[in-house]
Structure 1
Amino acid sequence: MGWIIGIIILIVVVYLISLYNRLVVLKNKVDNSWAQVDVQLKRRYDLIPNLVESVKGYATHEKEVFENIAKARQVAISAQSPAEKSQAENQLTQALRQLFAVAEAYPELKANENFMQLQNELSETENKIAYSRQFYNDTVFMYNSSIEKFPANVFAGMFGYKKREYFETQGEEREPVKVQF
C-alpha cells in the first residue's frame, strides 16, 4: 500500500513539475515573440528618417507632414506595453500614409530610385511586422489559454502568472482602405 501511495505522489509531483515547466516555456515564448515585434518595429523606425529625408528635397513646403511623422515615431519608440505600442503604431501608420500621399503629388520623387528602394524596404518591413504581430498574438493566445485552464490556473496564480495583452489594431486600421484615382 505504501508503494502505491508513493507512486501516486511521484506522479502528481512529476505532473506539477511538467505543468510549471510548460508555463515557463510559454511565458518565455511570449517574451521572445514580443522581442521579435520590437526588432521589426526598430527596423521601421530606422527606415523612416531616410524616407523622410528623400521626400524633403522634393516637398519642402510639407513641413507639417514631416513634423507629424517625427512626433509619431518618437511616441512609438517610447511606448512600452502592447496596448501603448499598438496605439502609437497606428498613429505612425497614419503619418506615413500622409507622407505617401505627398509623394504621389511629385512624379519626379516617385521615379527617384532611392525613394523607391526605401519605400520597398518599408513595405517589406510592414509585412514582417504583420507576421511578428500575428506570431506574438498566437503565442499570447496559447499562454493565456494555458494559464486559464484547470488545474494550471491554480498553479499559475500561485506563481504570479498573469494574462498578457494582445497587439491589436485600432480604429482606422480596421476600416477598408479607400482607393481614389
Structure 2
Amino acid sequence: MLQTIIAIIATLALIALWIISTQRKLVVLDENIGNAMIQIGVQLSCRFDALTALLDLTKGYAKHESETLIETIKLRRSIITAKSTPDDVVHQEGLISEALSRIAMLTEQYPELKENQNYIKTMNAEEIFENMVRTSCLIYNDSVTKLNREIRMFPVFMIAGILGFRQRDYLEEKEHAPGCRWRSQKAE
C-alpha cells in the first residue's frame, strides 16, 4: 500500500514538473512573439518619421496636399505593441503605402522635388526602414511558427489551451507588391 502511494505521489510530481516545464517553455515562445511585434512597431515608427519628413519636404511644392496627408497620418497612426495583432501591422503598412503613393504622384508633378538631395536622403532612409520592417516581420513569423508548432505537438496540445496559450496568426507578404505589403494569415 505504501509503495502504491509513493508511486502515485511520484507520478503526480513528475506530471506537475512536466506541466511547469511546458508552461515555462510556452511563456518564452510567447514572449519572443511579443518582442518581435515590438520590433515591428519600432521599425514602423521610424518609417512614419521618415514619411513625415518626406511630407515636410513636399510642403514647398503642394502645401495643402502635404498638410492633409500629415493630418490623416496623425489621426490614423497607432502604436504597435506586444499585444498588437498582425491586422494592426497590416493597417499601419496600408497607411504608409497610401501616403507613399500620394508622395510619388507629387514627385511626378514636381520633378525638381525628385532631385532634391534631402528628398533623396529621406527616401533612402524610408527604404532602409522598410527593409527593417520586412526583417522584423520575418522574425515575428519565425517566432509564431515555433509557438504554433509547440502547441500542436503531443502531449503539449493537451494542456496548452488550459494554460492560456493559443496559436497565433502569421504576417504574410502579398505577392507582386512592391515593398513590404503584409497581410494577416490565420493560423490553421
Per the shorter chain, which TM-score range? 0.7 to 0.9
Greater alpha carbon shift after TM alignment, 2-11 vs 78-87: 2-11
What's 1:83 paired with? Answer: 87
Q: Please state whether the residue corresponding to 2:169 is helix, strand or coil.
A: coil
Which residue number in structure 1 is paired with residue 25 of structure 2? 22
Alignment map for 1:1-181 (pairs within 5 Å): 8-60=11-63, 63-64=64-65, 67-68=68-69, 70-72=71-73, 74-77=75-78, 80-169=84-173, 173-176=174-177
Greater alpha carbon shift after TM alignment, 147-156 vs 125-134: 147-156
Could you tell me the percent identity over the aligned residues? 30
Q: Looking at secondary structure, tell me which structure has more strand per residue.
A: 2
1:106 alignment partner AA:
Y
Name the stretch that deviates more: 36-45 or 1-10: 1-10
Mapped contact 1:51–1:119 kept (Cα < 8 A):
yes
Name the CA distance, whole Å, in 1 between partners of 2:45 and 2:90: 14
C-alpha distance in 2 between matches for 1:109 and 1:78? 30
Deviation per CA, 1:42-62: give whole Å up to 9, x if none: 1112222211011121234xx
RMSD value, Cα: 2.6
Provide the TM-score with structure 1 as the length reference.
0.79
What secondary structure sits across from 1:167 in the alignment?
Answer: strand
SS at match of 1:158: coil
Q: Unaligned stretches of 5+ in structure 2? A: 179-188
> Which range moved further: 109-118 or 83-92?
83-92
C-alpha contact (below 8 Å) 1:72/1:88 kept by paired residues = no
Q: When the two structures are superposed, what TM-score results if normalisation uses the length of structure 2? A: 0.77
| Larger RCO (CA within 8 A; separation ≥ 6) | 1
Greater helix share, structure number: 1
- Structure 1 gaps, min length 5: none
In structure 2, relative to structure 1, the CA distance for the partners of 1:118 and 1:87 (3 Å cut) is same
